[in-house]
Amino acid sequence: MPLYKSITIDPQTRVFIWNVTEPEARLRAEALLSENSEQRVSNMLSEIHRRGYLSIRHLLSLAGYSDNDLFYDANGKPHLKDGAHISITHSFEFTGIIVSTHREVGIDIEKKRDKIMKIARKFTPLNEYRTLANEEALIRKLTMVWGAKESLYKIMACPGLSFLNHIHIEDFEMEEGESWGSVSYKGRRTDFSLNFLEFENYVCAYALKNETSQ
């Protein structure tokens, strides 16, 4: 099984990342799916989406859960039936989950691509990046910020939440691989710690809600 990486953040919180290299038939044969999930996979037109969906079921198994333990609320946020917190991500040939029994968590994997520069002004003030040395560094930093904001958005799961206006990522040195962020929305502020992984032209950002935040 191509488990790419697992990270134990604390005794109650773990990250699992999968490199989706197997053929769909093998992933399907080794995954135990609910009737609803079987239907969802059958309705997916894209093979890469089907393989990603199936690989996430393998990650659930590694975390000690089955497909039947996972459900989604009205806003599309995933939950586990035992009350543990979960977040899910997929990007091309990588998928990932983060699971915690005691803190709200979010995760996002993004491929580094130059197209991010075309949408950057929609999610972050570009004048904050003037000191970066070259285009490669700019793409790298923007991808990290986008992933961080995605991970916070997944935790909050609030309709109307704006990446640009409501989610703040504190500036950070890319080599340090960590930062903090906050969401200010409808008169309430929520704080988070952030960590970054970089591998094979991808960025993984994962967030943990600060225990002091309500």
What does the H/E/C string look like for 47-83?
A: HHHHHHHHHHHHHHHHCCCCHHHEEECCCCCEEECCC
pLDDT band at 1 (very low <50, low <70, confident <90, very high): low
Write out pLDDT tens, residues 128-172: 777 786 889 999 999 999 999 999 999 999 999 999 999 999 999
Say what the pLDDT of residue 213 is.
Answer: 60
Report the CATH number of the 3-102 domain.
Answer: 3.90.470.20
Domain ranges of the chain: 3-102, 110-209
**Does the pLDDT at position 115 exceed 80?**
yes
Q: Do domains 3-102 and 110-209 have the same CATH topology?
A: yes
- For 34-82, the pLDDT digits (tens) are 888 999 999 999 999 999 999 999 999 999 999 999 999 999 999 999 9
pTM: 0.94
pLDDT at residue 83 above 80? yes
- 110-209, what's its fold? Ribosomal Protein L22; Chain A (3.90.470)
